Amino acid sequence: VTGPLLVTGGTGHLGSELLRQPRGMPLAATWNRTEPERREGAQGVEWLRLDVRDADGVRRAVERIRPRAVVHTAYRQDSREVTFDGAVAVARAARAVDARLVHLSTDLVFDGEKGSPYTESDEPNPVGDYGRAKADAEVAVREVDPGALLVRTSLIVGGAPPSRPERDAVAAAEGRSPMRFFRDELRSPVHVSDLAAALLELVELDEAGILHVAGVDGIDRYELAQVCARAHGVDPAGIESATIAESGLDRARDCRLASDRARGLLHTRLRGVREALGAAPGSALAEREGHP
Ligand SMILES: NC(=O)c1ccc[n+]([C@@H]2O[C@H](COP(=O)([O-])OP(=O)(O)OC[C@H]3O[C@@H](n4cnc5c(N)ncnc54)[C@H](OP(=O)(O)O)[C@@H]3O)[C@@H](O)[C@H]2O)c1
């Protein structure tokens, strides 16, 4: 099969990294609000502006591009229409042209009450609207295309520009933000370059169904903030902690993902965040903030 790899959300954190990692295949990518020309890398990409809520537009675009595979990263945390309906529209359009579909999902489909890392056979039970939209999308996408691969991942860090968890941590460490970080919220953060490399491998495999692809370290948000600050050359001493319990928030506590199955399938190593962000002298934030 010929045809390009189509990345939805090509202007996003993960999408732009997918376009940056050369794989010797033609690339197409969608954007919505962010003009792609301003981003680094991603040369030789056929860009199209697309709103995934417009199912007809999605179908026409995919028919024109005729991708051999689609990696669906586009979403908006606060919009069910984008996250759920958009995912269904993309799955239908990909199915109609027989394209391989790799759909991105989240650790937040779980309620965080299990007490140990979640495997692919654990039942979703989302706590919030975003997790619910993603959990429903998983079910609907599988119905549309039983051959689709649904990749659940965790907090995505690393790369440039720095991720939200890194920016938040640096701002707090420098006393520019009152944000405090939960000691009782556990995740399995993944480096964006590891995740992108893993996805590009998975595009070529026959795997279908759910697969967990996250970093090997389970870590709480407070320690993660410290790791992020250090990675950007900032002293983490000023970072303050809190607990979900004290905050009274209805928030999933322990959504660590077990990625053993993925590790058996992939050459890409899914580094733990302590290693992946270990020391990054000269990183974008460190330079901007004037740290060596
Ligand atoms: N980030 C995390 O920590 C995390 C954790 C777990 C799972 N995930 C999953 O990983 C995937 C990628 O996350 P990310 O952090 O790379 O996302 P991101 O940086 O927020 O990028 C989101 C992308 O979606 C596009 N988009 C938004 N609304 C759209 C619409 N109506 N039509 C078409 N495109 C639209 C955006 O395009 P414009 O900017 O051009 O508008 C952007 O390219 C998501 O599916 C997410 O659920 C992320």
What is the residue with the minimal CA distance to atom 1 of ligand 1? 156
Average pLDDT over residues 248-261: 96
CA distances 282 to 76, 88, 157, 227, 255, Å, are 31, 41, 16, 16, 32
Average pLDDT over residues 145-170: 97
What is the model's pTM?
0.95
Q: Which of 90, 72, 88 is nearest to 80 (CA)?
A: 88
Least reliable range by pLDDT among 30-39, 119-128, 144-153? 30-39
What is the residue with the minimal CA distance to atom 39 of ligand 1? 34
What SS3 class is residue 139?
A: helix
What pLDDT does residue 23 have? 78
Q: Are 166 and 113 in contact (CB under 8 A)?
A: no
CA of 177 to the centre of ligand 1 (A): 24
What is the residue with the minimal CA distance to atom 7 of ligand 1? 106
CA of 12 to the centre of ligand 1 (A): 5
Ligand 1 pocket, mutate which of 19, 33, 75 (most atoms under 8 A from CB): 75
What pLDDT does residue 29 have? 97
CA of 14 to the centre of ligand 1 (A): 8
CA of 9 to the centre of ligand 1 (A): 6
213 dihedral zone (left: phi>0; alpha: psi -120 to 50; beta):
beta
User: Taking all residues of the chain, what is their mean pLDDT, rounded to a whole number?
Assistant: 93
What is the residue with the minimal CA distance to atom 15 of ligand 1? 13
Return d(Cα 32, Cα 10) in angstroms, integer: 9
What's the angle, vertex CA 268, arms to CA 264 and CA 271, rounded to 5? 95
DSSP string covering 159-198? SSSPPHHHHHHHHHHTTS---EEETT-EE--EEHHHHHHH
CA of 6 to the centre of ligand 1 (A): 15
CA of 75 to the centre of ligand 1 (A): 4
Report whether pLDDT(288) > 90: no
Q: Which residues sit with their C-beta closer than 6 Å to ligand 1? A: 9, 11-15, 30-34, 50-53, 73-76, 82, 86, 104, 106, 153-156
Q: Which of 233, 227, 78, 77 is nearest to 157 (CA)?
A: 227
Return d(Cα 19, Cα 100) in angstroms, integer: 17
Q: Are 255 and 112 in contact (CB under 8 A)?
A: yes
- Residue 23: Cβ within 10 Å count: 14
CA of 45 to the centre of ligand 1 (A): 18
Return d(Cα 199, Cα 208) in angstroms, integer: 13
Respond yes or no on whether the N-terminal peptide bond of residue 4 is cis (omega within 30° of 0). no
In sequence order, the 6+-apart residues with CB closer than 8 A to the CB of 177 are 168, 171
- Residue 209: Cβ within 10 Å count: 12
The pLDDT-based confidence of 286 (bands split at 50, 70, 90) is very low
